[in-house]
Chains A and B, each alone.
Chain A
């Protein structure tokens, strides 16, 4: 039983890093990132591949975080001078392209077969999971404190101004695209870090784990919690994982349902949830622009 709680908690904390990053990008900076899973994948594979070559895990994770952030820059500089929906399309294309490359370049990634046997964080002992959990808790605390700090800083002030009136920011001599790109990069870095944790916890990764559905799981989490409230991010993530885990038990209740049908139902629920929150519960999300609640 405790083992199960530890597992769920680790999943929650990894998703929380993802959600924190997306919240920074969308809730705080207003960037429509539909390719979050792409940065997750880059972090995951980078850390895994380096670790398989014998690089110490800590270095791998740092490299994973940095590389994910790096990819954000060309995307940002190209798409962020244009309308918001261009970024959405570009990031979606980005994450799908990443997935295709991961599937195709078998010499590097073993394609659809995935990469098994990734070195585990803290080894394979019985207490390893608890160490991983503790590390994730600490990392999350540091990350969220950092995000809060960013929001209150002069950098955060400009981002708030950009959300308010981008033309006026340009009229004051600042380039909004630069600031937005930095935000995009930090969010991407967090996704990369989450990916690295994923690799060294699950010890097996494959391209299937990085489909667009994951991006929208994370969107669902931040929407449910309230996109620009950090506390909401925590709540939303817990709700998301609760839903994902809970839906697994549906098979016990409805024995006639096949695995495929179950995943269809999950998929359908996410779709409906996205539609319904947009229709019926947009408050504090997309109605008025609010300053980020601290």
Chain B
């Protein structure tokens, strides 16, 4: 399988302080890959570099054959690479349904000229987008709360909503930043199932997680980071047996 997303030799930091050094990683098309590491290992920084919030000081990010290292955040998303955040960033004042609707790309209704001159088309698109939104909400088991203010949801539901918003974009690849954090154990199982189901449909997924048990169950391949570098890669069993990883996680769940 060809790499859909590949990161080569990424370095990032402030002045002499290096947060990332020589990191290389790849996500194959249709792949489901995990990324683990202790706090401060640089996982989120790596995500931010890949998604475009932070500019790397060296190295390259390639997506679908294109070098996107210098591309703006919005443009990377438009190319099909989207991410969630560790702390969910739902639009708290909007309803769950509106959150989904707001995410849909290329809406004619967002152009003022269309609002005046192409009302019919705008209305039709709204209807189609609405149907897609309801389907996704149903897939994520969120239809019951569709008309609630998103700020009122539980942590787990907010994570599901973030995932839902992402899916409205029909992305090629998604990066999930600690999807299980702060989610109650019952929902974790549901969330896992959804992630696997999405992957089965062909979505390429990269996941950062601390919950090693759950992650090991669903991903066939994992990378481990420590202090800004990649120290292991392979199947979950291989990675978790790696001495360097065990040492980094000393006392942690292995």
Question: Which residues of A are at the interface with B, using a C-beta cutoff of 8 A?
Answer: 149-150, 153-155, 157-158, 160-161, 164-165, 167-175, 179, 182, 186, 289-291
Which residues on B sit within 8 Å (CB–CB) of A179?
110
Contact B92 A164 (CB under 8 A): yes
Give a binary string over B92-114; 1 marks a CB under 8 Å from any A CB, 0 the rest. Answer: 11100011011101011111100
**Known contacts A149-B115, A153-B115, A173-B77; is A161 also within 8 Å of B110 by CB?**
no
Ranked 9 nearest A-B pairs via Cβ:
A154-B109, A173-B77, A168-B89, A164-B91, A161-B102, A154-B107, A173-B78, A161-B91, A170-B73
Contact B93 A160 (CB under 8 A): yes
Which residues on A sit within 8 Å (CB–CB) of B110?
154-155, 158, 174, 179
Contact B94 A172 (CB under 8 A): no
**CB of B78 to closest CB in A, whole Å:** 5
10 more A-B residue pairs beyond the given contacts A154-B102, A161-B102, A165-B90, with a C-beta to C-beta distance below 8 A = A153-B122, A154-B109, A155-B110, A155-B112, A158-B110, A160-B102, A161-B94, A164-B92, A165-B89, A174-B105
**CB of A285 to closest CB in B, whole Å:** 15
Q: Tell me the dominant secondary structure on chain A's binding face.
A: helix
Question: Which residues of B are at the interface with A, using a C-beta cutoff of 8 A?
Answer: 51, 72-75, 77-78, 82-83, 85, 89-94, 98-99, 101-103, 105, 107-112, 115, 122, 126, 165-166, 168-169
Residue of A158, A167, A168 with highest tally of chain B CB at under 10 A: A168
Contact B74 A175 (CB under 8 A): yes
Among A155, A160, A172, A290, which residue has its beta carbon within 8 angstroms of that of B109? A155
Which residues on B sit within 8 Å (CB–CB) of A149?
115
Which residues on B sit within 8 Å (CB–CB) of A173?
74-75, 77-78, 82, 105, 169
Which residues on B sit within 8 Å (CB–CB) of A155?
109-112, 115
Among B89, B90, B92, B101, which residue has its beta carbon within 8 angstroms of that of A157? B101
Which residues on A sit within 8 Å (CB–CB) of B166?
172
User: How far is it, in angstroms, between the C-alpha of A127 and the C-alpha of B98 when the chains are bound?
Assistant: 49
Which residues on B sit within 8 Å (CB–CB) of A170?
73-74, 77
A166's nearest neighbour on chain B, judged by CB, is: B89
User: How far is it, in angstroms, between the C-alpha of A173 and the C-alpha of B79 when the chains are bound?
Assistant: 9
Contact A289 B93 (CB under 8 A): yes
Contact B82 A171 (CB under 8 A): yes
Which residues on B sit within 8 Å (CB–CB) of A182?
112
Which residues on A sit within 8 Å (CB–CB) of B93?
160, 164, 289-291
21 contacts between A and B (CB under 8 A): A150-B112, A154-B110, A154-B126, A155-B109, A158-B102, A160-B93, A161-B94, A161-B99, A164-B94, A168-B89, A171-B73, A171-B85, A172-B82, A172-B166, A172-B168, A173-B82, A174-B105, A174-B110, A182-B112, A291-B93, A291-B94
